[in-house]
Structure 1
């Protein structure tokens, strides 16, 4: 051993290599989660055709994934404490892998829907990847968390899933999800550190709250997405809506009394916290509403009087600017936070989403370049919630004539302007909170 090669140096180099391996593993798992989550977007039209369901029904393959992800994120955060984080990560990836298998087997539409729901559970893994980075990566934790935040918003599955869908159909495209889910599971087995520390004496998990929230959101989204049932079967629609409202009301009561609630509703008593959450919620609806509109519009055959009749691959490429600009925004935003308040960023986010909505509503007939521009602009306003996807389906369904596969062109205008109004609505409270914050700091 040379004089310069000491045991301490060797240990430091080994730790550095181990840290690099862990960083790569965490980012890879985050990218896999993003890829699986994005598989539904460019395949909505293909799912409708292959499974012989309406476009609004096929849209559930995107909405259900976002819904389960919204519920799973806080739940996994509770389950994935340091003493069992590895176990939770491996179990979650196993669920995602099984869900991926369900999307490729020859079975009715309900099975692929269940598989997509299981895949959505993986959307809650990003928070656990960040917690792992904080615990094990020391000085590299901050930069790794920034990469994980960006990786979780990049829709790498858009163009990648499109080619196999065009060649072999929806199930072949979803086979990609099986491959990457299994690869992520193997990566986690090899690279995620073993659990540390003893289990606390008592650590309750709010399973009742998670169940009530899931039931309430599913009921509301189900009624929202099935507008054709409102006139044909009004009684079941009303009963489902009431059941959803009761479940959500019960969830609020449970959360207020739970020792460790799934969502800390008491924090919403603070006007700034409540306002920020409302703004983010509404802007997320607007963002995903427009996102779904563009995805469906570009694939609509020109025989409908609008649309570009793009193939799955071409539609996937249209969505690439969303990922690229979302990546750029993810890199720029942390630096902007040093100069701009969080409410200032929310205000800017509302303007960006509103601009994208106006561009799509006003000039989408000028060629395929405009949807590409719209997706690039929208990428800067990355956010979203499953209700946005359901609302877009509701509006388009209301503009679809009986027996027609595609909605009218005016339906896209109505939905786009609706998204734009929602985005503009978020600007006023966000700007107001920003101004109030400045006054407090000046006084």
Structure 2
């Protein structure tokens, strides 16, 4: 413990000096692929949702935990693995994250009941820590002139993996045994581990010698689990039920206590003073709203695609065809990310973030007249995901321009948690809208056309709010100073 007002010693800054001629393409490609594979794990079981109760010999309520546990594990582990990367080295922690991906996939492939499947899916969720670790490592090993584009690509891998994973998983589930999905993911995770070991260089542990904040980690874990669980399961349990309200109130109490404890801890899991800097704080708040805006489209489009044509607004597509219609959107995110990096170099990441959010809002505007056809929804997905590609690449650049090297991975992990919180809130909000605005067909209660239109308007409105928040993000001399230090480091020969 120490006096919260006493100045903290400045962290020792270390920079890996990279020759301008050194090939960093394999490093960036490996880290982008690692993030994509980790994100694929999130959508892996989507095509199996209806079949999970029969597969696992349980009821639908228990089977739903197969999806929920991955969200909870990712939310807890992302900020913790980020801090561990600062303490012990980012490459080392990337390799550590590959282990639960492999083990979890094998456990799921061998499962015949719900409990081992939940354990395996929880292990898969732990692998999401690869994304912020990969982004932070780029700051150490990629020359300054290539950094923005590399960050944009690796950051966008979260969305790319989700978009690619759906059609691939649907195809495998339709034409092969469901266990093939998990054996395939185990193989991909093993490949990622090998590529990281071979292609990714070691980077400095900028916070080496500091202590790991175990009480802070436990406090954040309890608060995040309670918050995400209350939001994600509130619709099932009832928003006014004792369980939901207890979790949400408990989350607020625990997180407030955690914040007070972190402010009095000499070497905290998350430095809240750094997080409170306007540039970092407003970027994280905007990240929550961007997450809500992005997920509204991801939730609405598949449902519109698969609802029966007899409703007049459903498109009657299979899960596989739905995934294929959505695939161009994921590919657009991949293609647009390098352009976002160039835009950040030319105009700054704040401009790129605002541009991306405006594009997302425009995509929702297009959705209202185009939602009546698969082609129209495909175009909407391409526009929205292009905006996401811009925004997701800019947010880590804004964060890293405002935090010291000793907190890079932890700060990116916290930002990734904010994005995940946004997607969880987005799912809950749109879910409430669709559940309240319904029609009946053949004895089944289904979301109405007005419900979908309202959900799209929510996505558009939230994106507008995100743009306003992003516009208030201040310029930071720290970001300029960081770029100057990196440029100077790049001019120094690799042998020092």
Q: 1:301 to 1:247 in 2, by over 3 A?
A: farther
> Which residue in 2 is equivalent to 1:178?
186
Q: Does 1:423 align with 2:463?
A: yes
- Counterpart-to-counterpart distance in 2, 1:392 and 1:185: 37
The one-character-per-residue Cα deviations of 1:365-388 (angstroms, maximum 9, x if unpaired) are 2x1011101110111222442322
- Counterpart-to-counterpart distance in 2, 1:127 and 1:97: 19
> Which residue in 2 is equivalent to 1:354?
361
- Report if the CA contact (8 A) 1:42-1:312 is conserved: no
- Report if the CA contact (8 A) 1:48-1:57 is conserved: no
- Counterpart-to-counterpart distance in 2, 1:58 and 1:411: 27
Q: 1:205 to 1:394 in 2, by over 3 A?
A: farther
Q: 1:412 to 1:212 in 2, by over 3 A?
A: farther
Q: Does 1:259 align with 2:261?
A: no
Q: 1:304 to 1:261 in 2, by over 3 A?
A: farther
Deviation of residue 46 (structure 1)? 3.3
Q: Which runs of 5+ in 2 are unaligned?
A: 1-17, 393-418, 477-496
Q: Does 1:374 align with 2:376?
A: no
> Which residue in 2 is equivalent to 1:395?
433
Moved more, 421-430 or 369-378: 421-430
Q: Does 1:92 align with 2:97?
A: yes
Between the two structures, name the one with larger relative contact order (CA 8 Å, sep ≥ 6).
2
- Counterpart-to-counterpart distance in 2, 1:137 and 1:432: 29
> Which residue in 1 is equivalent to 2:7?
none
- Counterpart-to-counterpart distance in 2, 1:204 and 1:82: 8
Q: Does 1:408 align with 2:448?
A: yes
The one-character-per-residue Cα deviations of 1:215-259 (angstroms, maximum 9, x if unpaired) are 32332333333324227x822222222222222222222322232
User: How many residues are matched?
Assistant: 417
Of 107, 122, 126, which aligns to 1:117? Answer: 122
- Counterpart-to-counterpart distance in 2, 1:330 and 1:351: 16
Pairs within 5 Å for 1:160-175: 160-168=168-176, 170-175=178-183
TM-score by length of 2: 0.71
The one-character-per-residue Cα deviations of 1:316-347 (angstroms, maximum 9, x if unpaired) are 22222222221232111122123434333333
Q: 1:30 to 1:349 in 2, by over 3 A?
A: closer
Deviation of residue 164 (structure 1)? 0.3
Pairs within 5 Å for 1:2-401: 23-24=25-26, 27-41=29-43, 43-44=45-46, 46-51=48-53, 65=70, 68-81=73-86, 84-109=89-114, 111-130=116-135, 132=137, 135=140, 142=147, 148-149=154-155, 151=157, 153-155=159-161, 156-168=164-176, 170-193=178-201, 200=208, 202-225=209-232, 226-230=234-238, 234-303=241-310, 306-365=313-372, 367-382=373-388, 383=392, 384-385=419-420, 386-387=423-424, 388-399=426-437
Q: 1:107 to 1:330 in 2, by over 3 A?
A: same
Deviation of residue 299 (structure 1)? 2.6
Deviation of residue 396 (structure 1)? 3.1
- Counterpart-to-counterpart distance in 1, 2:32 and 2:136: 13
The one-character-per-residue Cα deviations of 1:251-272 (angstroms, maximum 9, x if unpaired) are 2223222323333322344444
- Counterpart-to-counterpart distance in 2, 1:399 and 1:58: 26
**1:227 is paired with a residue of what secondary structure?**
helix
**1:379 is paired with a residue of what secondary structure?**
helix
- Report if the CA contact (8 A) 2:150-2:341 is conserved: no
- Counterpart-to-counterpart distance in 1, 2:199 and 2:82: 20
Deviation of residue 431 (structure 1)? 3.2
Q: 1:235 to 1:339 in 2, by over 3 A?
A: same
- Report if the CA contact (8 A) 1:59-1:390 is conserved: no
- Counterpart-to-counterpart distance in 2, 1:368 and 1:198: 49
C-alpha RMSD of the superposition = 3.8
- Counterpart-to-counterpart distance in 2, 1:301 and 1:162: 19
Q: 1:109 to 1:36 in 2, by over 3 A?
A: farther
- Report if the CA contact (8 A) 2:282-2:472 is conserved: no
Deviation of residue 178 (structure 1)? 1.5
Q: Which runs of 5+ in 1 are unaligned?
A: 1-14, 438-443
Q: 1:423 to 1:243 in 2, by over 3 A?
A: same
